A and B are shown apart, each in its own frame.
Chain A
Amino acid sequence: MTRTFTRYFGLMPLLVALTGSAMAQQPPIKIGALNVLSGSFAAYGKSGRQGAQLAIDDINASGGLLGRKLELIQVDSQAKPDVAVQEARRLILNEKVNFLIGIDSSSVSLAVAPLTKEYKIPLVVMHAATPALTEQCNPYVFRTSNNARMDAYAAADLAAKLPYKRWANIGPDYEFGHSSWNDFIARLKEKKPDVEVVGEQWPKGGESNYTPYITALVQQRPEAVFSVLWAGDLVTFVRQANAFGFFKQIKLFEDPVGAALESIGPMGKEAPIGELFSTRYWFLQSQSPVNKKFVEAYHKKWNEWPSYNAEEHYAGVQMLAAAVKKAKALDADAIKKAFEADGGLTYEAPEGKKWMRPADHQVFEALVWGYTTPSNDYPFVVLKDITMVPEKDTVYPTKCK
């Protein structure tokens, strides 16, 4: 009863709108966001949510999209594929969302992706990094952030220019850790055939005790160690490695999100100095007006500096909005066309240009690498002597058409 009532009632404002009245009366465009808001990675879901919310506020403040407001419906994926699929179905069927966004975990992204075809709802992934996602050539899945292969290739290009020959690895013992190291070392050996691998360490994700791995690494005497440890794992590893004097002997090469504020924040003043850290976005790097405005607005709204995940979610929502504007429609096929048309959608994000490759819907963008250095202005280390690895160095062939 009430539902039919509201449905008819809902039509009235539409008529009002047609006669040129307030757009707030129209039903909003609903965006369902799946982020991890509990457990070990909750800090990332939080910054992602904050970034997405800021983008939506910005868009609404400047008149919304197609004359309609945007509304963010945030749910907790718990980083569990089964939970996320359940929540995604609920968002689609009950909340009637027009788009799904977010997703921090690779396994969650792969589990949710099939729903896009089932319900014809576009999914824009803004964090999860498994290359397999965009290798599926799913027509309605788009990724506006880097994937792990691009990150590893960019790291290898940079590493090839450095004098280090004896390399070792320490990475979390799951798909992301293994594929990143394999991609990295294969590409590095191509560019620099005389590199030598002296050791590989595979602690489990969420390990609390890295000391056995650290002592093993020290004894293998590498010149540089490649690592994709991230989040709390990285903080714990760095703390324990510091206590061993690890960084006095070995250069840490921290790919791809070591300089995430979620990690270097908790390291505080004890973070290692002069190590090479990468990130997908560094808030002090770009001097563009777009970035300055974003950093200022984000800090004002959330009283925090924007981390890469905050920026990726902000930029991802903006890029989706650009596609909607271009498509002038919300249905999945129109959005797909808008993302693919004219050689792929490009968008000037706070971090710089993002270009979506039409074939596999993977965005390519430049990557930040820099040396950690103490700062008087911030309670954490900052990056200096920044190298931007251009997006062309991260492009790899795709089988999608």
Chain B
Amino acid sequence: MTGLASAASLFLLAVGLSLIFGALGIVNFAHGSFFALGAYFLFALTRGDAAGFWHYLPVAVAASLVVGAVVERVFMRRVLNRAEHYQILLTYALLLIIEDVSKICFGADYKSIGMPKGFEMPVFVLGIPFPSYYLGLVGLAAAAALLLWLFLHRTRYGTLVRAVAQDREMLEALGVNVPLLFTVIFALGIGLAGFGGAVSLPLQSISTGVAVDAVISAFIVVVVGGLGSIWGTLLGAILIGEIQAFGALVLPEFSIAFTYVLMAAVLLFRPWGLLGRPPAVRT
């Protein structure tokens, strides 16, 4: 049960990273920073009062979308067609810049808010108290996964997103506004990260150092699940969430190691991830 709740927040954190890599081929080291930004936005909007949580959640997500769009237009566009290490350098620089800027804007102290309205009391599952917000979180993540799947597989625009991952030039030749498409995808990925950050705020404290931890967790999830695959990300998040949950029960001394053992095993036997595709030769 708790494993599912962890999986929910891991999924929201990682799915944007996977989406951006899958469609744009960008390895976004700053992903964790956008996760933190989403949380900071929500904290600033609610002024730390949980009463405004549901009101301001859409605003925080919208702000993240805008940030994502601006970052893509101003920065990412310039490195799209360059070697990967340019992208890594740029996104790593972004991570550092966002960390310092948010320290200046939001202060260095830990930010956190109470449980949002409607989820203050735990529910009892088989006589054991279980935080009701976790159920809410699972619901939110499931809804996000479903909407994303519908968008990618049932809408025309979603088809374009999948197509651009396959063959950028062909799409351009067909008259699709690919630069705009890239902005939309990047903003969507960042918006998801911001959403993940905002809904995690009642469960954890956010400070300037959180971005690095978040991006590492996100990478583990997508490496296990398969970079670029939405369902892979979901599977990776569930696996890691559950492994952490059972690890702490069975062998608490080694609970941290389990996650990495899983990642190492996946890298050894299926380097492209559980649901990823083996790399094809690109022309």
Chain B associates with chain A: yes
Taking Cβ atoms with an 8 Å cutoff, the residues of A that contact B are 37-43, 45-46, 173, 199-204, 206, 208-209, 211-216, 218-219, 231-233, 235-236, 239-240, 242-245, 248, 262-263, 265-270
* Additional A-B contact list (4), CB under 8 Å, known A39-B207, A214-B2: A41-B209, A206-B210, A215-B2, A215-B128
A208 near B131 with CB under 8 A, answer no
Given A40-B207, A211-B6: A219 in contact with B100 (beta carbons within 8 A)? no
Decide: A243 and B210 in contact? CB cutoff 8 A. Answer: no
In the complex, which residues 216-255 of chain B have their Cβ closer than 8 Å to any Cβ of chain A? Answer: 217, 244-249, 252-253, 255
Give the A-binding residues of B (Cβ under 8 A). 2-3, 5-6, 9, 48, 99-100, 103, 108-115, 122, 128-131, 133-134, 200, 202-210, 213-214, 217, 244-249, 252-253, 255-256
| 28 A-B contacts (beta carbon < 8 Å) | A38-B100, A38-B208, A39-B99, A39-B207, A40-B208, A40-B209, A41-B209, A202-B256, A208-B204, A209-B204, A209-B244, A212-B255, A213-B255, A218-B128, A218-B129, A232-B205, A235-B110, A235-B112, A236-B205, A239-B202, A240-B204, A244-B130, A245-B129, A263-B110, A265-B110, A266-B110, A269-B114, A270-B114
A38 & B207 in contact (Cβ 8 Å cutoff): no
B2 adjacent to A211 (CB under 8 Å): yes
Q: Which residues of A contact B130 (CB under 8 A)?
A: 244
Q: Which residues of chain B are near A40, meaning CB under 8 Å?
A: 207-210
Chief secondary structure at chain A's binding surface: helix
Does A240 contact B213, Cβ atoms closer than 8 Å? no
Report yes or no: A262 in contact with B256, Cβ–Cβ below 8 A: no
Alpha-carbon gap, A239 to B115, bound state (A): 9
Taking CB atoms, residues of chain B closer than 8 Å to A242 are 115
**Pick the contact of B109 from A214, A265, A269 — CB < 8 Å?**
A265
B residues less than 8 Å from A211 (CB atoms): 2, 5-6, 134, 245
Contact A236 B249, CB 8 Å, known A202-B256, A245-B129:
no
In the bound complex, what is the Cα–Cα distance between A326 and B79 (angstroms)?
62
Whole-angstrom distance between the Cβ of B280 and the nearest chain A Cβ: 36
CA distance A270 to B247 in the complex (A): 29
Whether A212 pairs with B6 at a CB distance below 8 angstroms is yes
> Considering only CB atoms, which chain B residue lies closest to A240 in the complex?
B203
> Which B residues are in CB contact (< 8 Å) with A173?
256
A265 → chain B closest CB, angstroms = 6
The 8 A-B residue pairs whose C-beta atoms are closest, nearest first, are A40-B209, A243-B131, A42-B108, A212-B248, A235-B205, A39-B209, A245-B129, A211-B2
Contact call B207/A42, Cβ cutoff below 8 A: yes
| A39 in contact with B208 given A212-B6, A239-B203 (CB within 8 Å) | yes
B210–A42 contact, CB under 8 A? no
In chain A, what residue has the closest Cβ to B202?
A: A239
Known A219-B249, A243-B134, A245-B122; judge A212-B208 contact (CB<8 A): no
Whether A203 contacts B256 in the complex (CB less than 8 A), given A46-B108, A208-B200, comes out as: yes
Which residues of the other chain, A, contact B244 by a CB distance below 8 angstroms? 209, 212
Question: B114, A268: Cβ atoms under 8 Å?
Answer: yes
In the assembled complex, how far is the CB of residue B173 from the closest CB belonging to chain A, in whole angstroms?
45
A263 to B112, CA, bound (A): 10
Closest to A235 in B: B205
**How long is the Cα–Cα vector from A204 to B204 in the complex, in angstroms?**
14
- Bound state CA distance, A231 and B207, in angstroms? 10
Residues of A with C-beta under 8 A to B205: 232-233, 235-236, 239, 266
Q: Once the chains bind, are A243 and B209 in contact (CB under 8 Å)?
A: no
A41 proximity list for chain B (CB < 8 A): 209
Give the Cβ gap from A345 to chain B, nearest Cβ, in Å.
32
In the complex the two chains form, is B203's CB within 8 Å of A236's CB? yes
The residues of B that contact A263 with a CB separation of less than 8 Å are 110
**Contact of A239 (CB < 8 Å), options: B122, B204, B210, B253:** B204
Q: Smallest CB-CB separation from A38: which chain B residue?
A: B208
Contact present for A206 and B213 (CB under 8 Å): yes
Whether A209 lies near B6 (C-beta < 8 A) is yes
From the candidates B9, B108, B113, B131, name the one contacting A209 in the complex (CB within 8 A): B9
Min CB distance B157 to A, Å, is: 33
